[in-house]
Structure 1
Amino acid sequence: MDKKFIMSFSGGKDSTLALFRMIKRGYTPIGLLVTVKKGENGSWTHSINKELLTRVSKSLDIPLFLVECEVSEYEAKFTQTLLKAKEMGASCCVFGDIDIQDHRKWCEERCKEAGIKAVLPLWQEDREKLVYEFIDNGFSTIIKKVNLTYLPSDLLGKVLTREIVREIKDLKCDPCGENGEYHTFVVDGPLFKDKIDFKINKIIIDGDYGNLDISI
């Protein structure tokens, strides 16, 4: 069985945990597929800049597949990149989604278009247990973005620990942030050769979201 895959990668904890599990199972990643806003320097959803993503790629020793796109071309560009990965030997694309059915449907549709399989290693597992599995395996991640409707901006920049997870739960939020309450940026762990150092520039408030602006 072909064990090469491309990883749909956000730079956050869930996609990193999915990547970790696949590697432990003996699969080989040929690349990290990251979508970036066209004309801007930040990735979609997590708003991580290209320089930091490049540093993560080097530390993980996995090539970076940057996909620059607007909303209108997001799906087509994503599928094009999957086709490229297929030509390079990937038999599947791996996603870090947990239990939102619409997300799974989207993943499967893109993979079907490219003629490869969609693999979701975390699918329908307990959200809280997954967060603790991530932390207990020695990964280090900072809170990069929060939905201010649910969480305060002072969580930005904090390392996600069991104590912080409890704080998030006390605020009646999902501990995993699967509903978009918060997003993370993984900076160290068992897959990393080097820790990702960064500097904090400022906090940007954009509507309902607080985003930690960081750079190399």
Structure 2
Amino acid sequence: MLGKKFVASFSGGKDSTLAIYRSIKQGMVPVELITTYNSHKERSWFHGIPKNILSNISKEMEIPLSIIETTGEKYTESFEAKLKSAKEKGAEVCVFGDIDIQGHLEWCSQRCKSVGLEAYFPLWNEKRKDLVYEFIDLGFKTLITVVDHSRLSQDFAGKVLTRKVADAIEAEGADICGENGEYHTFVFDGPLFKNPVDFQLEEKLAIDNFTVIKFTNLT
């Protein structure tokens, strides 16, 4: 992988960020981040990050970011179109932060195959707990933005993920990594950032089974 140019499927969360960090440390060169954005709800899919925050993340990481505005019906089509565009900009590989869910690997690999990119999973089949601890110990800081309160206490929404918080999540019987969707995150500082991304919390919203943190940027 040394020297290969990559685009990253970037949710804004901890796993995709760690995958990008590892890829760069392995000598790969980032060309672009791509983030899917729910055009109906006006926030990123799954992790609930608004556009202005995503823009600031790109600025502080010094990696261009493209937003895929899509609905659920056109999600696959829109994702492949953006991958094709990234390939035209020089990307050879697409980096994903998936860990061990086979269906995710197959979906991502097929999207890449369709446009002639190589799919790369730097975290694949590693222990979830080890990955959470590695992420935290590297100095990354991440906010828990979404909690599935049918599986995890809504009190975790709005907390910064530390070892203590991660252990408390595990103690509740949820997956420590949130790989099954128990929680999602927004990374705002760490080794890839020139400066922390400023933001302020506004409110907690209850949407179906989820507690969602609404937040905005300060700059």
> What TM-score results when the alignment is normalised by the length of structure 2?
0.97
Give the whole-Å Cα distance in 2 for the aligned partners of 1:190 and 1:72.
36
1:63 equivalent in structure 2: 64
Deviation at 1:2, TM superposition (A): 5.3
Give the distance between the partners of 1:153 and 1:2, measured in 2 at CA: 43
Give the corresponding residue for 2:164.
163
Q: How many Å apart are 1:40 and its aligned residue?
A: 3.9
Q: 1:31 maps to which residue?
A: 32
Aligned to 2:51: 50
The answer on whether the counterparts of 2:141 and 2:161 sit within 8 Å (CA) in structure 1 is yes
Q: Secondary structure at the match of 1:72?
A: coil
Q: Name the amino acid aligned to 1:153.
A: Q
Q: Which runs of 5+ in 2 are unaligned?
A: none
Runs of 4+ in 1 over 2 A off after TM superposition: none
The number of aligned residues is 216
Cα distance in 2, alignment partners of residues 2 and 141 from structure 1: 29
Aligned to 2:105: 104
Please provide the CA RMSD for this pair. Answer: 0.9
**Alignment deviations for residues 113-158 of structure 1 (CA, whole Å, 9 cap, x no partner):** 1111110000000000000000010100011110001111211111
CA drift at 1:30: 0.7
Q: Is the 8 A contact 1:31 1:63 kept in 2?
A: yes
The separation in 2 between residues aligned to 1:39 and 1:101, in whole angstroms, is 28
Q: Secondary structure at the match of 1:203?
A: strand
Give the unaligned 5+ runs of structure 1: none
Structure 2 counterparts to residues 1-216 of structure 1, below 5 A? 3-216=4-217
TM-score (ref. length: structure 1): 0.98
Q: CA deviation at 1:181?
A: 0.4
How far has the Cα of 1:41 moved from its partner?
Answer: 2.1
Residue type at the aligned position of 1:77: S
Amino acid at match of 1:137: L
**Aligned-partner Cα distance in 1 for 2:3–2:88:** 13
Q: Distance in 2 between matches of 1:169 and 1:200?
A: 25
Kept after mapping to 2: 8 A contact 1:141/1:187: yes
Contact 2:203–2:213 (CA<8 Å) still a contact in 1? yes
Moved more, 73-82 or 149-158: 149-158
Cα distance per residue 1:69-110 (max 9 Å; x no partner): 111111111001111111111111100000000000000110
Output one character per residue of 1:3-59: Cα deviation in whole Å (capped at 9) or x when no partner.
100000000000000000000011111111000012442010111000000000000
